[in-house]
Amino acid sequence: MAYTIMDEAMGLPKIAVTSTAPWTGGGSAVPPLGTIVSAVDPTYGTGEFIFLKGVASTVVGSLVTYDQTLGTTALAPATGGNGPVAVAMSANVANQYGWYQIAGAAAVKAPNAMTPGADVFMLAATPGSVDDTQVNGEQVVNAKVSTTTGTPSTGLGIIQINRPFLQGQIV
């Protein structure tokens, strides 16, 4: 995916690139944590992205929970949970910074075949991954499967998201 920031502020890092330096204010090319921008891709259309700190084991397509105020992320737990989630646009690991998708057509880790139009759930075997098999307490709300696994590449599926969150249901 080749998203280009539409509301370009001078020097913002590209969507699929990580940064090793935090925001320092002033003329820094890295935005403050929690910054949200819109970007467009020629294939997948417009999306929204939030700038956050990475976490260990993050790969492109990882689903993470995040805290916008602190700017931190954690791989979305395989057992569900609650709070907002976003999709990693780069292998943004610990002590790095990068963009996470919060709206639009997102390429998410999806190792199992999924049915277009299905609801989205956490994949119990793999933190940060999704599936379309219903598991109580593990639904990703404001997300729908758009393609089966393998699109745009092996192990990924396109999910339509709009500020998704884990439902937080206790079972």
pTM of the model: 0.91
Amino acid sitting at position 98: G
- Residues 6 or more apart in contact with residue 102 via CB below 8 angstroms: 36, 48, 49, 50, 84, 86, 87, 161, 163, 164
Bond into 42 cis (ω within 30): no
pLDDT tens, N- to C-terminus, the chain (171 residues): 688 887 666 667 888 888 887 766 655 667 889 999 999 999 999 999 999 999 999 999 999 999 998 999 999 887 777 899 999 999 999 989 999 999 999 999 998 989 999 999 987 678 899 999 988 888 999 999 999 888 888 999 999 999 999 987 655
- Residues 6 or more apart in contact with residue 43 via CB below 8 angstroms: 1
The torsion of the CA quartet 59, 60, 66, 67, rounded to 10 degrees, works out to 100
Give me the count of residues in the chain. 171
